[in-house]
């Protein structure tokens, strides 16, 4: 399906309605702007990046949220509830958000807006660490060895393990227990809180963005998940970026097949319960025996979707240029091999709008990376926007920096994006 056909299909589906992506951070919705759809709009906060994008798409971006007296930008729910938003969105218009919640569903229903995201209740059941076990059913075999119990009953057996509370975000609810003293402190603080205790698996962590499109499951590109590296975060399990080049150096053909087998199985289970669009899976490779284990399911649009889609758009542009060089044909009549290949975000949008699947695939990529500088405990919000010297200077030349108006610990401060991979190996950046 060509870009022109995609625009036509989406605009035909929308008809006289408009589609509004409402988001705290404009970066999450930016990939949709690349499609050039006239009735695709973004409602977001005022930030350096949103104002930069607004210069390019002046009629498609509404910057209505500003930093509050508390120093925080409005979240998605606050943006949806604002009087300014209610003046923009008409009844029965389509709404898309990054992550659905029960409160967002209620707000859309109260205003007669059509929310495209899958049900929040299902997303919660799939993502939360306790309910996820029951939801997985037979697929729980892919998890590391685990048990569920209240904290006061957990016993230290001289082996480190991973403890997860039911809800977590970017690694904040995941704790590596390395001593009896550490465990006793948690037991004393949360004696009756239920937790999932899992075997600690050493090794590299990978993630990919998959789409449920009707009855089809499209398994996306695998990236190495950059986790816990300083100075980008002070949380050992916090996700701080992706590298799409490193998996091709670590995983062999059989492991990639096994990875996609697991992610596709999760997708089929989601599809049976009415899921549409994006979901992500995190899978770890045990460095001792090379076996793969399922660690997380992200029942939403993963944060890496936007930059993955931008990298895929670069692939299309590169193929176009190469084709024209080889054939000396006019761009208007050139036919690309990528005609049936789409960016990850495009597939997500088509799936949510229930536009029929036509044997498309996701554009493969084998390079590119992004690293997020998170707000840490000793972080100065006025710190330099220069990329830390821990990243190779040759990579910095073609990099991009996105600035966020966040102050909450663990939230995004800067996002550094690169056209090449930045990781030399597991837990090691390319030499500076």
Same domain for 41 and 27: yes
Q: What is the CATH number of the domain that holds 179?
A: 3.30.1490
Q: Answer with the residue of higher pLDDT: 176 or 340.
A: 176
Same domain, 10 and 130: no
pLDDT confidence of residue 385: 52
- In a shared domain, residues 267 and 414: yes
> What is the domain count for the chain?
3
Determine the Cα–Cα distance for residues 39 and 30; give it in Å rounded to an integer.
14
Over the chain, what is the mean pLDDT?
A: 88
Assess whether 278 and 352 both reside in one domain: yes
Q: pLDDT tens-digit profile of 18-62? A: 999 999 999 999 999 989 999 999 999 998 899 999 999 999 999
Residues 296 and 385 in one domain: yes
Give, as one character, the DSSP assignment of residue 379: -
- The 94-96 sheet, strands edge to edge: 61-65, 40-45, 19-22, 94-96, 114-115
Q: How confident is the model at residue 401 (pLDDT cuts 50, 70, 90)?
A: confident
Q: What is the pLDDT of residue 338?
A: 44
Q: What is the pLDDT of residues 183-212, one digit of tens each?
A: 999 999 999 999 999 999 999 999 999 999
Q: Work out the percent of the chain whose per-residue pLDDT is above 90.
A: 72
- Pair (87, 135) in one structural domain: no
Q: Is the pLDDT of residue 366 over 70?
A: yes
CB 353 within 8 A of CB 13: yes
171 and 225 assigned to the same domain: no
pLDDT at 167 (0 to 100): 73
**357 pLDDT above the threshold of 60:** yes
Residue 180 and residue 130 share a domain: no
Same domain, residue pair 187 and 244: no
CATH at residue 30: 3.40.50
Least confident of 63-67, 135-139, 276-280: 63-67
Model pLDDT, residue 409: 80
Q: 394, exposed or middle or buried, with CB in 10 Å at 0-12, 13-18, 19+?
A: exposed
In a shared domain, residues 227 and 360: yes
pTM greater than 0.85 (yes/no) = yes
- Which domain CATH number covers 270? 3.30.470.20
Most distant pair of Cα atoms in the chain: their distance: 73
* 238 and 380 inside one domain: yes
Mean per-residue pLDDT, 95-103 = 97
Which of 156, 181, 199 is the endpoint of a domain?
199
Residue tagged 């050992």 (tokens): 236
Mean pLDDT within 275-303 = 97
Which residue is listed with tokens 């995201």?
Answer: 117
Of the candidates 321, 225, 232, 216, the residue with the CA atom closest to the CA atom of residue 270: 216
Distance, CA of 23 to CA of 46 (rounded, Å): 11
Residue 417 sits in which domain range?
A: 119-139+202-432
User: Residue 336: is its pLDDT beyond 50?
Assistant: no
DSSP helix/strand/coil, 352: helix
Tell me which of 154, 170, 199 is where a domain ends.
199
| Cβ atoms < 10 Å from Cβ of 316 | 17
- Between 305 and 47, whose confidence is greater? 305
- Given 199, 214, 236, the domain boundary residue is 199
How far, in whole angstroms, is CA 331 from its chain's centroid?
33
* 392 and 365 assigned to the same domain: yes
């Amino acid at each position: 399906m060509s870009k022109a056909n995609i625009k036509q299909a989406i605009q035909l589906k929308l008809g006289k309605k408009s589609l509004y992506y409402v988001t705290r951070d404009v970066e999450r919705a930016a990939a949709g702007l690349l499609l050039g759809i006239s009735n695709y709009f973004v409602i977001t906060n005022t930030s350096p990046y949103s104002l930069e994008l607004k210069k390019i798409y002046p009629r498609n971006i509404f910057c209505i949220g500003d930093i509050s007296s508390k120093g925080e930008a409005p979240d998605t729910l606050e943006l949806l509830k604002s009087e300014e938003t209610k003046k923009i969105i008409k009844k029965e218009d389509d709404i898309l958000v990054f992550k659905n919640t029960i409160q967002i569903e209620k707000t859309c229903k109260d205003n007669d807006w059509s929310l495209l995201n899958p049900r929040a209740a299902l997303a919660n059941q799939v993502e939360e660490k306790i309910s996820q076990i029951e939801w997985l059913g037979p697929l729980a075999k892919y998890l590391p060895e685990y048990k569920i119990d209240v904290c006061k009953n957990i016993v230290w057996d001289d082996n480190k393990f991973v403890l997860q509370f039911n809800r977590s975000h970017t690694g904040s609810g995941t704790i590596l227990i390395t001593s009896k003293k550490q465990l006793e402190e948690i037991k004393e603080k949360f004696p009756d809180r239920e937790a999932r205790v899992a075997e600690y698996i050493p090794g590299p962590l990978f993630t990919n963005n998959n789409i449920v499109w009707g009855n089809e499951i499209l398994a996306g590109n695998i990236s190495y998940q950059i986790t816990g590296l300083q100075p980008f975060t002070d949380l050992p399990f916090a996700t701080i970026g992706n590298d799409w080049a490193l998996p091709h150096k670590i995983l062999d053909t059989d492991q990639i097949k096994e990875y996609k087998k697991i992610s596709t199985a999760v997708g089929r289970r989601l599809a049976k319960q009415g899921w549409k669009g994006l979901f992500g899976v995190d899978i770890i490779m045990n460095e001792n025996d090379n076996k793969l284990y399922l660690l997380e399911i992200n029942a939403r649009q993963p944060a890496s979707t936007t930059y993955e889609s931008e990298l895929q758009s670069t692939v299309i542009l590169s193929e176009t240029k190469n084709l024209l060089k080889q054939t000396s044909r006019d761009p208007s009549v050139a036919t690309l091999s990528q005609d049936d290949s789409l960016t990850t975000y495009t597939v997500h949008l088509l799936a949510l709008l229930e536009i029929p699947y036509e044997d498309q695939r996701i554009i493969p990529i084998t390079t590119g990376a992004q690293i997020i500088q998170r707000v840490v405990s000793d972080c100065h919000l006025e710190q330099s926007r220069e990329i830390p010297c821990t990243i190779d200077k040759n990579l910095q030349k073609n990099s991009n920096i996105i600035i966020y108006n966040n102050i909450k610990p663990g939230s995004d401060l800067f996002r550094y994006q690169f056209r090449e991979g930045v990781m030399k190996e597991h837990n090691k950046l390319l030499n500076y």
